[in-house]
Amino acid sequence: MEKTSKIYVAGHRGLVGSAIVRKLLREGYNNLVLKTREELDLTDQKMVEDFFDKEKPEYVFLAAAKVGGIHANRTYPAEFLYQNLMIESNVIHASYKYGVKKLLFLGSSCIYPRECPQPIKEEYLLSGYLEQTNEAYAIAKIAGLKLCQYYKKQYGANFISCMPTNLYGPYDNFDLETSHVIPALVRKFHEAKVLNKPEVEVWGTGKVLREFLYVDDLADACVFLMNYYDGDMWINVGSGEEVSIEELANIIKEVTGYEGKIVFNPKMPDGTPRKLLDCSRLKELGWLPKTNLREGLRMTYDWYLKMYCR
């Protein structure tokens, strides 16, 4: 990408999209096209095609998606499947139709099979059953990856995909009904501290293992891949480190300054037992993350305090 290239970031207000915008601006890219959901409904094919016909972006970061944690995925599976299918289908097809030079699609590590060998290699996708708690979202994201792969195969379109691990950071969703584990715990521990609650409940046994990546590191990887990768296979993006939910909860407890007890609720679902990405392909390309978990959680909590606790 040239510094003056016309770049469309779909989903620029979300966790990933906002981080990509921050990264692009820091690197001197000065011709960004940004549209809110109110200005451009990506589930509406005509609106999307009219937008691409008018703006003709050269590069597209497809970070727009309907996302959420276990509770949201279990409660709204039809919405997760339909909205994500429509968003990615409309944007990917319009990018091909209107001559986009390159598109990067954001997948998710949660779409790998539930019982995957660890660490998870890119080629393990579709090698087993999906995790039931987020099957609808996974099916939609797999379709997006395959669309990019097949548009490249059939039409020669330079469409690539990356597979991020669990993300967190500024502009995350802190709604307890729909959030992922880190923002949910940050909010729970902060509110428990403010209200002087004796304990905080955490879903599940606390024993499952997860890998987390600070979202600004993902944005750095996305820009890197857009500039230096043109392969057919999606690329895993992770931190290379995993932590149990119990360890994670204790770190967040420390970061937020909460002094009460942590109580795990084993009646609630754990999700996939373990999920660690093999990021050797990305490492061989020359990219490594910069932010460790404790540092990233401190920055996330600082942002939460600034935005929600004025």
Question: pLDDT at position 248, please?
Answer: 98
Q: What percent of the chain has pLDDT over 90?
A: 89
Question: pLDDT at position 43, please?
Answer: 98
Tens-place pLDDT, residues 221-251: 999 999 999 999 999 999 999 999 999 999 9
**Number of residues that this document lists for the chain:** 310
Give the Cα separation of 99 and 141 in Å (integer).
Answer: 23
Candidate list 8, 59, 96, 137, residue with the active-site label = 137
Instruction: Judge contact between 110 and 274, C-beta under 8 A.
Output: no
Domain 7-171+213-239+276-290: which CATH number of 3.30.1950.10, 3.30.930.10, 3.40.50.150, 3.40.50.720 = 3.40.50.720
- When mean pLDDT is compared across 1-10, 22-31, 68-77, 248-257, the lowest value belongs to 68-77
Question: pLDDT at position 178, please?
Answer: 76
Instruction: Tell me if 305 is assigned to a ligand binding site.
Output: no
Instruction: Tell me if 197 is assigned to a ligand binding site.
Output: no
Q: What percent of the chain has pLDDT over 70?
A: 100
Taken in order 143, 144, 149, 150, is the CA torsion positive or negative? Answer: positive
Q: pLDDT band at residue 133, thresholds of 50, 70 and 90? A: confident
Q: Is 156 helix (H, G, I), strand (E, B) or coil?
A: coil
Instruction: Tell me if 167 is assigned to a ligand binding site.
Output: yes
What is this structure's pTM?
Answer: 0.94
Instruction: Tell me if 75 is assigned to a ligand binding site.
Output: no
Question: pLDDT at position 226, please?
Answer: 98
Tens-place pLDDT, residues 248-274: 999 999 999 999 999 999 999 887 788
Instruction: Tell me if 68 is assigned to a ligand binding site.
Output: no
Flag whether pLDDT at 66 surpasses 80: yes
Within a 10 A sphere around the Cβ of 280, how many other Cβ atoms? 13
Instruction: Tell me if 11 is assigned to a ligand binding site.
Output: yes
User: For 273-286, what is the mean pLDDT?
Assistant: 94
User: For 45-72, what is the mean pLDDT?
Assistant: 94
Burial of 55 (0-12, 13-18, 19+ CB in 10 A): middle
CA 86 to chain CA mean position, Å: 18
Give the Cα separation of 207 and 244 in Å (integer).
Answer: 6
Instruction: Tell me if 273 is assigned to a ligand binding site.
Output: no
User: For 278-299, what is the mean pLDDT?
Assistant: 97
124 belongs to the catalytic site: no
Q: Where are the domains of the chain?
A: 7-171+213-239+276-290
Question: pLDDT at position 145, please?
Answer: 97
Tokens 């401190």 — which residue? Answer: 298
